[in-house]
A and B are shown apart, each in its own frame.
Chain A
């Protein structure tokens, strides 16, 4: 049973999630990126709860709960524990492409994903799917872009997690009946990704004194003359 209010609220959440994806690309400091990621996860959970209430799907209550536990509480806490000095550093992040051009590219990605999956999604006739699938794909692609453009470890990790948020946003619309065990396992996996990449970052920082991924440039295929 669809309530128009529920649908509009869901659309609002999805729109704000997309704005968070843009903000993650546009922010200059690590703290900012982290807060926008947390906000995005809160909105994702809100969207989950809305759908659960609106369409009476028990699984989605669980999924929303898992999202809050994993992405709003556990991962930021783990990051704070393992990476505190790097997180609170107040300096501009280095990136390969400057922020205005990055935002422009992110916009192109959003338009592109609407063009790509918009027709398939609207064929379903379900307004939630029509909103969530293109926005989810856009968040996925924008996250991938921020991963490629940022040159430091922590924003790259947050980029991966933001991509995951995009996939989940589409998932709650198109696969709400996915077995709960799979969703639980996926959430555990996401937390593990954060822990392991976080630990790796800390080891790199200890060994090399920086988490700037761009400084990692020892291994490359040199072009050597024919021997």
Chain B
């Protein structure tokens, strides 16, 4: 029941936002809906921890460890971003805010619909809806820059759709040729994978990887990401960077679980290589970036690469690191964008070199910026440090010494890149004497709430979260 409700609720909220008399209450309804969504996701997760599986409608809507974890991540970020949007969007140049909230709810519907599907075909459909609604939100401000970003974003990511569709059709063929006529679900595919044709599985994975990899932002298909993330309204950036990249990655990880179950497909090493390339490109672009919202976008490319590398290592320990990193990246990166929005409100510019002495102008914003930069760069005692450490040590255990050495070096490069830029922004003598726009209260609430898990998970992982991560790691198919 909860699984059906979690999909239906945002659609209802979107319709209400569209409906004339309620337009003024659009924000309130969105916040209420998103908070209920998070409660539902937490409920689903607790059921999954108890019974390993939740069924909404057998064969259609089912959740296991990995999908419950993704649901929790998505709803958490969507709820806080909705709260944050209240104050932030009141400075928007586009007056039709109810339209923003209607599309926001539709986006969150599509985002929760992907992990609640039990099979790949409807997940493809939901994933396309995610892309379409995010295109509308990226272009919401209707400025030249926003429209250009929306266009580039839509061409690159929608182009991935037919490619991934071809891949899923080939997967269905492989499933059909193995003698099955019923609907394919992820679990059934994983069970049947050893007797499916390895060439077909490999080819279909390749196509899905290209199609959805463009949406995740793997290099060299990452070029839309910094444009979209620098031009979209900040609450949307948090959702895009924190979870819109994680959801296609969820599908790729699910598919990877199927591929790794086929002993002859041998795809893990390739994933390590492709992941490392993304990490490298993200890390080196971080050194030369001049817009701080773009900086966090490049850091997303880097982190997506780290998760893919970890999944490619394909051992129990590295899978745990991968899902832990998925969680940590989403909560930390959304915090980073909330802070970037606060800095933007305070300084009125996105250029790194124009922001100087932030700590003196706005101690709140400056301290937050240093906090989130340390957290996303992976300094101890933050959660990203823990998950990156878990991935590196898992790599050493499985004998991937070279990959681990390269990954560690690149993580250090990214750390230096982020800290150099943030150093320039936080310290020094300011040009401005007072803040550009006073910080809205809802932004303050959202950012403080977002800091809680980032501060806690690095020193203490609560029991339920740990068991959820363990369950999720099982679906990645590592041995």
- Interface, chain A (partner B; CB < 8 A): 116-117, 120, 124, 136-137, 140, 143-144, 147, 153, 156, 160, 163-164, 166-167, 170-171, 174-175, 177-179, 181-182, 185-186, 188-189, 192-193, 196-197, 200, 203-204, 207-208, 213, 216-219, 221-224, 227
Contacts of A153 in B (CB 8 A): 151
Quick one: given A147-B159, A179-B121, are A208 and B144 in contact (CB under 8 Å)?
A: yes
Inter-chain contacts of A164 with B (CB < 8 A)? 161-162, 165
B42 located at the interface, meaning its Cβ lies under 8 Å from any Cβ of chain A in the complex: no
Q: Select from chain B the residue with minimum beta-carbon distance to A172.
A: B169
Q: Which residues of B contact A144 (CB under 8 A)?
A: 159, 163
Query: Is the pair A178, B169 in contact by a Cβ cutoff of 8 Å?
Result: yes
B290 on interface, CB distance cutoff 8 Å: yes
Other-chain contact of B148, A167, A193, A216 (Cβ < 8 Å): A216
Kindly list the 6 A-B residue pairs having the minimum CB-CB distance in the complex, ordered from nearest.
Answer: A174-B173, A163-B162, A182-B121, A216-B148, A185-B125, A175-B172
Give complex CA distance A153, B158 in Å.
13
- Closest Cβ–Cβ distance, residue A166 to chain B (whole Å): 7
User: Residue of A at shortest CB range from B143?
Assistant: A207
- The answer to whether B288 touches A224 (Cβ under 8 A) is yes
Contacts of A218 in B (CB 8 A): 144-145, 148
Do the beta carbons of B226 and A186 come within 8 Å of each other? no
Q: Which of B129, B135, B172, B353 has the most CB of A within 10 A?
A: B172
Which listed residue, B128, B147, B203, B226, touches A203 by the CB 8 Å rule? B147
Which residue from chain B places its CB closest to the CB of A120 in the assembled complex?
A: B199
- Count B-side interface residues using an 8 Å CB cutoff: 52
Asked if B319 is an interface residue, CB under 8 A from chain A, the answer is no
B166:A170 contact, CB within 8 angstroms = yes
Provide 25 A-B residue pairs closer than 8 Å at the C-beta atoms, listed in order of the A residue.
Answer: A120-B203, A136-B166, A156-B155, A163-B159, A167-B166, A170-B170, A171-B169, A174-B169, A174-B170, A174-B173, A177-B176, A188-B125, A189-B161, A196-B132, A196-B135, A200-B136, A200-B151, A207-B144, A216-B152, A219-B152, A219-B227, A219-B231, A221-B289, A221-B294, A223-B288
Measured between beta carbons, the chain B residues less than 8 angstroms from A188 are 125
Given contacts A204-B151, A219-B149, 20 further A-B contacts (CB under 8 A): A120-B199, A124-B177, A147-B155, A163-B162, A164-B161, A170-B166, A170-B170, A175-B173, A179-B183, A182-B125, A185-B125, A188-B125, A192-B132, A203-B142, A207-B143, A216-B148, A218-B148, A219-B231, A223-B288, A227-B353
Of the candidates A160, A178, A203, which one forms a contact with B172 in the assembled complex, judged by CB atoms under 8 Å apart?
A178
Is A167 a contact of B288 with CB atoms below 8 Å? Answer: no
User: A16 → chain B, closest Cβ, in Å?
Assistant: 20
Q: Is the interface of A mostly helix, strand, loop or mixed?
A: helix
Determine the residue in chain B with the shortest Cβ distance to A213: B151
Q: Which residues of the other chain, B, contact A217 by a CB distance below 8 angstroms?
A: 148
A117 partner, pick from B129, B161, B203, B289, beta carbons under 8 A = B203
A160-B158, A189-B125, A203-B142 given as contacts; is B151 within 8 A of A216 (CB)? yes
- Alpha-carbon distance A68/B161, docked complex (angstroms): 20
Query: With A and B bound together, what is the CA distance between A143 and B290 in angstroms?
Result: 36
What is the distance, in angstroms, from B306's C-beta to the closest C-beta of chain A?
22
Q: Tell me if B166 and A140 are in contact (CB < 8 A).
A: yes
Assembly CA distance A224 to B155 (angstroms)? 27
B43 to chain A, nearest CB (A): 27
For B197, give the chain A residue with the smallest CB separation. Answer: A120
Inter-chain CA distance A147–B159, complex, in Å, is 8
The smallest beta-carbon distance between B200 and chain A, in angstroms, is: 6
Determine which of A174, A208, A213 lies in contact with B155 in the assembled complex, contact meaning CB atoms within 8 Å: A213
Beta-carbon contacts of B120-136 to A below 8 Å, as 1s and 0s?
01101100110010011
- Specify which chain B residues have a CB less than 8 angstroms from the CB of A116 in the assembled complex: 203
Q: Given A170-B166, A193-B161, A221 and B142 touching (CB < 8 A)?
A: no
Residue B154, interface by CB 8 Å: yes
Name B153-195 residues within 8 Å CB distance of A: 154-155, 158-159, 161-163, 165-166, 169-170, 172-173, 176-177, 181, 183
